[in-house]
Amino acid sequence: MNETYTNAAAEADKISKNTQPQRMQELQTMQQAMYANLGISDKVYQFSKEVLDSLASRFAEIDQVTEYNQLKVIKAMQDNKVSEACLLGTTGYGYNDLGRETLEAVYASIFHAEDALVRPQITCGTHALALALISNLRPKDELLSPVGKPYDTLEEVIGIRPSKGSLAEYGITYRQVDLLADGGFDYEAIEKALNQQTKLVTIQRSKGYQTRPTLSVTRIGELISFIKKRRPDIICMVDNCYGEFVETIEPTDVGADMVVGSLIKNPGGGLAPIGGYIVGKKECVENAAYRLTSPGLGKEVGASLGILRDFYHGLFLAPTVTASALKGAIFAANIYEKLGFRVVPNSIESRHDIIQAVEFGTPEGVIAFCKGIQAAAPVDSFVTPEPWDMPGYDSQVIMAAGAFVSGSSIELSADGPIKPPYAVYFQGGLTFEHAQFGIMKTLQSIVDAGIKKL
Ligand SMILES: *Cc1c(COP(=O)(O)O)cnc(C)c1O
């Protein structure tokens, strides 16, 4: 036994014999020293701990939702008889893939939906949304967004910005009704926008790269009721990216016909290395399947290769991973609001997705924040993020992520378009401890850059 080990063991032994408050004190001292090792100053540490101490009741509320959702996932897995055989995969055509079919049944159960398409062949969230749209729309149909501008990458899918293969190229038109200044639905304008061509309504739950409020599932339900009352035939689709497991209900519980998302966000639990899902009405899901594979083949093909174990494992962890990300977002909101920046959502309001926006008002703030997130990463912590012209976006974007799954934004990550109001969008954290450390690193970076003094 070497001397360092003996000393550490003696130290640990001493701590264990102390009373609980003494042990807490000692552990905190060790913790602060470890933070110092990782470049966190005493000032940043103290400021962060004070903010954290004020958040206990918020976190307790999240824990309640998490407990419910964890049980919901376990129940769905048990009801659908997930077995060890389901974790294996098929090759080639992938006919009769037990694991794939069972996983799709599990998703349908969780979302209380008729059917689901959950596939590694869906490459990302944009692909899942494009697939849902183009498979359920036909030439001369009209798509309506009653919640304002959709996510940036969808502008090219729809053809708002001309793009090869867009819905516009197929003669599918698009109409948009913006939210009112207070974030409410403009029901009058929505009513006027509905016409004989309107076939599908797309509702984005999350704020995306905007500083509008995220929609709660209940509010989405109100909007769907309004539309269905006038036009029960219209397909109501929800872009659920970043929203899964944040509440105890999902948009399918309030009348959505089709709910779409990415597996490298919440429902993949950080373990899914690729994939997207579409859940909802059988007909909508079938249409998507025939488009994803081929007319005549639909859901029957699509080998799962060796990926299903990670899909199941990730889904099982998704409620707690989402909770960690949510706590990180609330921590960030409280830190930056206290420093005088506008944060969306603010420090106290209820949450409906895991994204936290912080408005810095200057490119320097956005860049310093992203550098802090990068410096906290387990992978690629030594690289420095820079703004670049990213495909699909109309301005330069800076992105920080040091992820186990490339580009995964359920892992701690931040991005900001370099355009006014110079807001950074922060999300993820597979563990709260990592999210907390990441935010502390951003604060250190902001302080070191002279943008704010503590
Ligand atoms: C992430 C996201 C998308 C697109 O997903 P990708 O996987 O990045 O293609 C679409 N809509 C919203 C609201 C998102 O957050």
pLDDT digits (tens, 9 = 90+) for 139-156: 999 999 999 999 989 999
And the tokens for 416? 């900001």
Going across the sheet that includes 342-344, the strands are: 342-344, 356-359, 423-427, 413-417, 397-401
- Cβ of 151 below 6 Å from ligand 1: yes
CA angle 149, 132, 101 (to 5 degrees): 140
Q: How many CA atoms lie within 13 A of 212 on its CB side?
A: 23
**From the CA of 414, how far away is ligand 1's center (Å)?**
14
- Does the pLDDT of residue 7 top 80, yes or no? no
Give the closest residue to 130 by CA, choosing from 178, 172, 176. Answer: 172
Distance (angstroms) between ligand 1 centre and the Cα of 340 equals 29
pLDDT at position 1: 47
Q: What spacing in Å lies between the alpha carbon of 153 and ligand 1's midpoint? A: 8
- Would the CB of 432 count as within 6 Å of ligand 1? no
Rounded to the nearest whole angstrom, what is the distance from the C-alpha of residue 72 to the centroid of ligand 1?
A: 25
**Average pLDDT over every residue of 37-49:** 97
Residue 214 per-residue DSSP state: P
Mutate to test the pocket of ligand 1, among 262, 266, 274 (most ligand atoms within 8 A of CB): 262
The pTM of the full predicted model, rounded to 2 decimals, is 0.94
Pairing of strands 342-344, 276-280: unpaired
Q: Which of 129, 153, 238 to mutate to test the pocket of ligand 1 (most atoms within 8 A of CB)?
A: 153
Alpha-carbon span 341 to 360, nearest angstrom: 6
262 alpha carbon to ligand 1 midpoint, in Å?
7
Note the maximum CA span of the chain: 81
Q: What is the pLDDT of residues 295-340, one digit of tens each?
A: 999 999 999 999 999 999 999 999 999 999 999 999 999 999 999 9
Q: How confident is the model at residue 6 (pLDDT cuts 50, 70, 90)?
A: low
Pocket test for ligand 1, best of 131, 151, 209 (most atoms within 8 A of CB): 151
If pLDDT is split at 50, 70 and 90, which confidence band does 3 have? low
Q: Is a pLDDT exceeding 90 seen at residue 17?
A: no
Give the whole-angstrom CA distance, residue 217 versus residue 270: 23
Check pocket membership of 237 for ligand 1, CB cut-off 6 A: no
Q: Kindly report the protein residue whose alpha carbon is nearest to atom 5 of ligand 1.
A: 125
Percent of the chain with pLDDT over 70: 98
pLDDT given for residue 310 in this prediction: 98
Per-residue pLDDT of 364-413, as tens digits, reads 999 999 999 999 999 999 999 999 998 767 789 999 989 999 999 999 99
